[in-house]
Amino acid sequence: MDGVISKAVTILRELPSAEDHELYRVLVEADIEPQVAARLVEFLPMAYSRLILAASGARFSNFFRRVLSDGTSEECLLSSEPVWNAAVAFAEAELEQGVSGEDLLAVGARSAEFHAANRLLQAGSKLENLAFEAPVLTWRAPPASLPGR
């Protein structure tokens, strides 16, 4: 899985302004299995942003919510997702190997949690006072209906 994640991280860094559906398409074109590509687009930015914000004192949910085809959602444990676990391990390994803050940010800044933390900081909040709810992920499995596919 590390080779797949490495390829995905490189693509995310090379295409900083690409929309999620564009990244998904590029990952699939790079021979990453569609289901894995969709999860990487969702989980890599979140894993990196949480790593960046880890020392801030901000608290993050161990769960996420997946929107279902009927419009409802179900709560799932992040650690139940193999791609999440691999993304977190890969991000932590990069940090331990001395990857630059700029490279961490190139992936982590794509996260909605990162954007929310940044907006709250700009409004005068202190990160140690923040507790994030479970993120809501809207891509359904399998992602065959994503734009550009």
pLDDT value of residue 28: 96
Domain count of the fold of the chain: 1
Domain presence at residue 8: yes
Full residue range of the structural domain in which residue 44 is found: 2-137
Domain presence at residue 117: yes
Q: Can you list the alpha helix ranges (DSSP code H) found in the chain?
A: 2-14, 20-29, 34-53, 82-96, 101-108, 112-122
What number is the average pLDDT over the span 11-26? 95
SS3 at position 64: strand
Domain presence at residue 143: no
**140 pLDDT tier (thresholds 50, 70, 90):** low
Domain presence at residue 121: yes
Q: Which of 29-43, 64-78, 80-94 bottoms out in mean pLDDT, i.e. has the lowest?
A: 64-78
Model confidence, pTM: 0.88
Domain presence at residue 142: no
C-beta atoms surrounding 144 within 10 Å? 10
Domain presence at residue 84: yes
pLDDT digits (tens, 9 = 90+) for 51-62: 999 888 899 999
Domain presence at residue 70: yes
